[in-house]
Structure 1
């Protein structure tokens, strides 16, 4: 078997070396030494990291398509998406400025871009009250200006300030999920929230805890992923709890908005019958009722 693995095409070897390094590629791939636990864990971490980056590049696409196809952002919290986008952007800037491997943070870059698009769609389809009187173009321009205003500090601020921002992602992660959780609870429905996105985020957070411990070892980043995991699990539980509720309500509603069950036990209210009494004659006596009997003169 090693005769095959040691003679793989050059492009496969170069790709493997670029991912796990020359030492681990030689040990795991070429020599098939699966007792090298350090290289095994490192290779697994790299594989998971690349998988998360690829998955992150399409994670929010189903959510985006769901909003566009329904032409509605019902059930999605704009506050939650804005805070979540800010947390993703800060994590991306912090990892990039620290020269972390792209496989440890790449999905945050793609999620930031996708969240910006989804936030813009929420503003377009369900604008907040302060923007409801503005045109779609004005809302788009204002949203772009706000995104740029948040992005500039992440590029120009010193690293010490970015580190403080990274610490701030912990409460940001908390407050980015709470509005969505609260909205789901109040509506007893998850609306247009995508189950694929929620489940993917749960799996991504689990994998990121492992890759962060193996390749980065930054406790601030690990704490952020741990908190995000807990909150995403709560969202997943809500999706299970409220699954199909909207469809059930629509099926139960009749043509006038009364459920079938309610109509079965509904009793019509008693109808009022008005009795019209003819007015009395001027003499105080009631007018004689006209006789319905027909009289005819007898002819002898």
Structure 2
């Protein structure tokens, strides 16, 4: 078997070496040494890292499509997305400036881009927090300019300041999830929050804890992923608790909207515990056709 693995095409061997390194490629692939625990852990970490980066590039796409399809950002917290986007951007800039492997932070770059678009959509579609729809345009312009400025500043900051900002991602992660969690609990609904995005974030944080410990060993980054995992689990629990509530409300609204005015009044009375009984009056008996005794009378004409 080793005769085959040691003579694989060059493009395959070059790809394997670029991913797991020459030492681990030689041990695991060419020599089939499955007892090399260190290289197995490293290769597993690399595989998970690449999978997370690929998954992160599409993680928030279902959320984007859901907002565009419903033309509503109901249930999504604007402060939560602003803080979450800032935390992703800081982590991406910190990892890039410290020359960490792209497989250990790449999804943060893609999530920053996707979250920025979602944040702009939350501003674009009027919500209860946006009382004046006419102010949407200026708000959108300010948000776009702030996003571009933040990206430039993070790219230009010195490493020591970036390290301080990376430590700030811990409270940022906390405060980015709390508004969404509190809004869900207050409304007893998750609105247009995407279940796919929440579940993907939980799985991604679990995998990132492993890859960070294996390849980087940075305690600040590890603590950030651990806190994010805890808060995402809370969001996942809320998704499970409030699942299907929005559909029931939409069906009720649709049914009520299809009723006539009289039927709506009866429905409201029934919901309030009151049922009005209406007795239809009997038609009066014509005087020339009947009498109290039931006998018919006719006037004699000569």
Using structure 2 for the length normalisation, give the TM-score: 0.85
Please report how far the alpha carbon of residue 133 of structure 1 lies from its aligned counterpart in structure 2 after TM superposition: 2.7
Task: Decide which moves more: 124-133 or 49-58.
Answer: 124-133
Which sits farther off after the overlay, 252-261 or 118-127? 252-261
Unmatched runs of 5 consecutive residues or more in structure 1: 273-290
**Highest Rg: 1 or 2?**
1
Distance (Å, rounded) in 2 between the aligned partners of 1:193 and 1:259: 35
Tell me which residue corresponds to 2:185: 185
The aligned residue for residue 168 of structure 2 is 168
Q: How many equivalent residue pairs? A: 281
Q: How does 1:278-289 map to 2 (within 5 A)?
A: none
- Given that 1:173 and 1:224 are in contact with CA atoms closer than 8 Å, whether structure 2 keeps it comes out as yes
Q: Which runs of 5+ in 2 are unaligned?
A: 280-286, 292-296
The 8 Å contact of residues 252 and 259 in structure 1, kept in 2 or not, is answered as no
Distance 1:24 1:224, change over 3 A: same
Match in the other structure for 1:42: 42
Which residue of structure 2 lines up, in the alignment, with residue 200 of structure 1?
200
1:80 and 2:87 matched: no
Partner residue of 2:275? 268
Deviation for aligned residue 1:168:
0.4
Decide whether aligned partners of structure 1 residues 49 and 66 sit closer, same or farther in structure 2, where only a CA change above 3 A counts. Answer: same
Structure 1 equivalent of residue 284 of structure 2:
none
**Contact 1:252 / 1:260 at 8 angstroms: preserved in 2?**
no
Task: Specify whether residues 145 and 265 from structure 1 end up closer, same or farther in structure 2 by C-alpha distance, changes over 3 A only.
Answer: closer
> Cα distance, 1:252 vs. partner?
4.3
Match of 1:121 in 2: 121
Instruction: Calculate the TM-score normalised by the size of structure 1.
Output: 0.85
Asked if 1:146 corresponds to 2:153, the answer is: no
**Could you say which residue in structure 1 is the equivalent of 2:233?**
233
Deviations 1:49-90 (A, max 9, x none): 000000000000010011011111111111110000000000
Alignment match, 2:95: 95
Paired residues for 1:3-14 under 5 Å = 3-14=3-14
Alpha-carbon distance in 2 for matches of 1:196, 1:135: 28
Structure 1 residues 259 and 42: alpha-carbon distance in aligned structure 2, compared to 1, 3 A threshold: farther
- What's 1:58 paired with? 58
How much does 1:264 deviate?
Answer: 8.0
Structure 1 52/260 Cα, relative in aligned 2: closer, same or farther at 3 Å? Answer: farther
Change beyond 3 A, Cα 1:298–1:215:
closer
Q: Residue 134 of structure 1 aligns with which residue?
A: 135
- Name the structure 2 match of 1:278: none
| 1:222-254 Cα deviation digits (max 9, x unpaired) | 000000000000000000111111112333454
Contact 1:85 1:112 in 2 (8 A): yes
Query: What residue number does 1:220 align with?
Result: 220
User: SS of the counterpart of 2:192?
Assistant: coil
Change (3 A) 1:258 1:123: farther
**Offset of residue 176 of structure 1:** 0.4
